[in-house]
A and B are shown apart, each in its own frame.
Chain A
Amino acid sequence: MRYIPNTEEQKKEMLKEIGVSSFDDLIKEGVPQSIRLKGKLNIPEARSETELEEKIYNIAQKNSNFYLMKPLIGAGAYRHYIPEAEKFLLQREEFWTCYTPYQPELSQGTLQSIFEYQSYISRLIKMEAVIPSIYDGASATAEAALMSLRLTHKNKIMVSNLVHPHYRETVKTYLAPHEPEIIELPYKNGLVDLEKLKILINEDVASVIIQNPNFFGGIEKLAEISEIVHSKDALLIMVIAESISLGVLKAPGDIGADIVTGNAQSFGMDLNYGGPYNAYLATKKEYIRQLPGRIIGETTDVDGKRVFVMTLRAREQDIRRERATSNICTNHNLNVIAADIFLSLIGTKGLYQISLLNTKSAHYLENLLLKSKKFEKIFDYPFYNEFLLKSKEDIATINKKLLENNFVPPLKICEFYKEENLKNVLLFAVTEVLSRDNLNKVAKILSE
């Protein structure tokens, strides 16, 4: 076997050195014969590398040719252009094949990169302490909700209905054992219903979870929300599902967020049919002892050199066991390195430009579709790069046309929202991978 260097002869020699006559002799004590597997595992016999390659290529052909298909769908997973330099650098085995950086002397590459990423995110969202890597936006939001319970010692959470449906589901799953009251905050005209928020909130609420831009793409009135939330001493948890939006939108830390969670998939991560992505979880320095997950800090080595280490470790599971702030251990560090490379490449100007372009192209497409008279607005709300339109035509027909023309269709919003007025409504998403020509083509196909 090409991945196992020791030959049968060598194994025999080693067994002799160990002082046993056979492998069975070696394990008979630990694995009673009565529970040992009789016979071989019933799985296919080993294949050669060329046979395997052919097999997987053939399976891959059963997917559509997604490289050529431009997505009109986002909903928490966005296709952005990933510069080749990033993909190339990420192939380096030193990043890929190492373990969690427990030994800083042999891990400065990973540690420094994560520190840089924490620095970038801190600037983007204006929060002081950034946990660089929770698995994804949903689990990060659930961890933030748990953190708010610990910080406030209250047991009520309010969640906007316009937080990504999977994130809301995950919050419910994580919180279920603690039996908190979860209050759903309704929307009105595509944004959080501020009047309802005022009515529903009270001093018993630990935190209010708001996504911006929200799941419909809408841009929330965060300053007003923040005022209402804080007037009742609740914490404001802000969720970002599309982090590229930070290029043009105000930083959550500047508008009153206490905890921010953000899906960082847009920072240089492939769609990969849903993962691995990554999420940051950030807060103010006063709350750092309650943060879940790993964080990197700067210090010096014995020679006085600036170095980076895992720090504030006393919160973590391997030290505190059942009293840890979370069980999280292995996370998505390689995705953090990807994001650090991505943000370094696009830089100050690039982030602004991509964000601006996404905003404008989405509005361009909306305008074209409305002009076609085949679609109509259902809400009059400000949006970033995703928007809802009601189709006058049957959605199955639209999807067929789009797929034939190599576009991944937009999301049928009724898959997640059962309201009567949301039937036959589509959630479109636009990023820079759709050129102006692409958008004109979409409008043309859908007007016919």
Chain B
Amino acid sequence: MKLIFEKSIKDRDGYSLPGDLFKEIKIEDCLPEYAISKKKKLLSEVSEVDVVRHFTKLSKLNYGLDDGFYPLGSCTMKYNPKINEKLASLNNFTYAHPLAPEETVQGSLEIIYDLNKLLCEITAMDEYTMAPAAGAHGELTGNLIMRKYFVDRGDKRHKMLIPDSAHGTNPASAAMADFQVVEVKSNERGTVDLTELARLMDKDTVGLMLTNPNTVGLYDEGIKNIEKIVHHKGGLLYYDGANLNASLGIIRPGDAGFDVVHLNLHKTFSTPHGGGGPGAGVIGVKKDLIPYLPTPIVAFDSTHKKYYLLDLGSKSIGMVRAFWSNFPVLIKTYVWILSMGPDGLYNASETSIINANYVLAKLKKYYKPAYDRYCGHECTVTGKEYKKYGVKTLDIAKRLMDYGMHPPTIYFPHFEPYAEETIMVEPPESESKEMLDKFIEIMIKISNEAKTNPELLTTAPHNTPIRRTNDLVAAKRPILTYDDELKLKDELKYKDKNIDF
């Protein structure tokens, strides 16, 4: 498909502004000569009609959640309710300036305050910061909180324990907090090896970052012992909330002894992913850690009946972003929780766990589970049986596209000997039994194809907007802009990037 630049026609307009209302003022009287650009910066010149058709066409090259099954493991691609979008886009919210006087934004502050209370109850934590913009941002914030907590105590801990099954963001976040990452091996049941944990957990160790259920979709049954081992050595327990969708109303991280929790509101709490954000990675902490949260938090002044931004003072790790939060994501979360209620939240986790185990039960004859036990809200199976036919997990995933489905997460997690050629399926509560049956039927069909006609898989997909991409070329000789492409084509007519005034 053409790029917007290739549709550009000189002098075409896609925008209207009031005419020059300040003809008497000359730009030279406002700005110093050294600052003014001598040339106009070239964007594109297209009409509103061109733009609308261009982006409508682009959108049709995407596959969204509303198009069908989207079982990405550890991503919780659940339905995004439409009422949430509407209520998050009310003018009084969307036009509110972040530095407007507090008395003009009492509604926004009330939502943040109330949501904090709800999240605290759902996870058994004492206070949340809404600042982090994404899961990894929350992880960084959480790590910085733990770091400051120990620094203030004159405790020079510098190691962070992270299971081999953890998301890549965990070690990367810990490294950003300048912690030395120590990997904890998983046992044959796919969970943290307690002996190994006890050996590694020492007085130099900040604590453990844990996802529960973990990234292979398995609950850590030893959670109580894990908690004891970490706390006994004075460490802190960090909960990666990527998989909270298996826990609503069933188990609360705070009750299990976690000290710091991050939640991906764009996963468990139904807000859309937007093709890679914006989400929100809010962080909840236990009482002792509240002073270390990023400043400010929203508080309520009961004397004057007013919400306000409370500066947390010198113990706070400081700010992790400009302003306060990804606010519309918070509204959507708030609305979702209220629309579900306690029974709805429990139902969500219960259904997603049943869904995942149903898929596992039906598929395990064809794709071996990485671990033979019941799973949480996602199941991990492997495609390694098909290697002998020359078929990789990647090929199975691509073949699924031909049947109109988004593939599950593949090649994650990856650690030997259990997790190889992995296929991680997460069918959230918003997927019906009929949809799962359809998926199971297709997966079985693909397993037969792998044996009888492997080429069908290795050359898949066949009927998507584009086919397999040459990623090596992209990395070796990066074309990162349209101008790179033009330079490469050595288009002489495009010698000058600028137009003269």
Contact = CB atoms under 8 A, between A and B. Distances in A.
Do A and B interact with each other, yes or no? Answer: yes
B353 interface: yes
B186 interface: no
Interface residues of B, number: 204
Contacts of B40: 348-349, 352
Interface in B137-172: 137, 139-140, 144, 147-148, 167-169, 171-172
Nearest to A105: B464
B442 to A, nearest CB: 16
Interface residues of A, number: 199
A94 B1 CA distance: 17
Contact of B118 (A34, A43, A88): A43
A318 B170 CA distance: 10
A85 B52 CA distance: 7
Given A110-B62, A251-B41, A352-B40, A37 B250 contact: yes
A247 B41 contact: yes
Contacts of A341: 51, 55
Contact of B275 (A299, A334, A347): A334
Interface in A101-158: 101, 103-110, 112-113, 115-116, 118-120, 122-124, 128-130, 133, 135-139, 146
A139 B320 contact: yes
Interface string B14-32: 1101101110010101111
A62 B112 CA distance: 13
A93 interface: yes
Interface stretch (A48-56, A202-210, A228-236, A369-377): A48-56
A165 B407 CA distance: 44
Given A47-B339, A112-B1, A273-B324, A321 B58 contact: no
A390 interface: no
Contacts of B95: 66-67, 69, 79, 270-271
Given A47-B339, A92-B59, A275 B321 contact: yes
Given A4-B351, A95-B62, A123-B497, A356 B133 contact: no
A133 B322 contact: no
B35 A275 contact: no
Nearest to A72: B97
Interface stretch (A13-21, A192-200, A417-425): A13-21
A95 B181 contact: no
A27 B181 CA distance: 31
Contacts of A353: 17
Interface stretch (B383-391, B444-452, B475-483): B475-483
B203 to A, nearest CB: 19
A105 B275 contact: no
A66 B97 contact: yes
Contacts of A290: none
A21 B312 CA distance: 51
A20 B401 CA distance: 32
Contacts of B17: 350, 353-354, 357, 432
B499 interface: yes
Contact of A301 (B58, B266, B275, B466): B466
Contact of B174 (A77, A322, A350): A322
A328 B1 contact: no
A408 to B, nearest CB: 5
Contact of B475 (A49, A138, A300, A311): A311
Nearest to B256: A35
Interface stretch (B193-201, B231-239, B354-362, B416-424): B354-362
B219 A30 contact: yes
Nearest to A12: B354
Nearest to A285: B478
Contacts of A172: 318
A444 interface: no
8 contacts: A115-B3, A122-B481, A133-B277, A139-B133, A285-B478, A302-B468, A335-B277, A341-B55
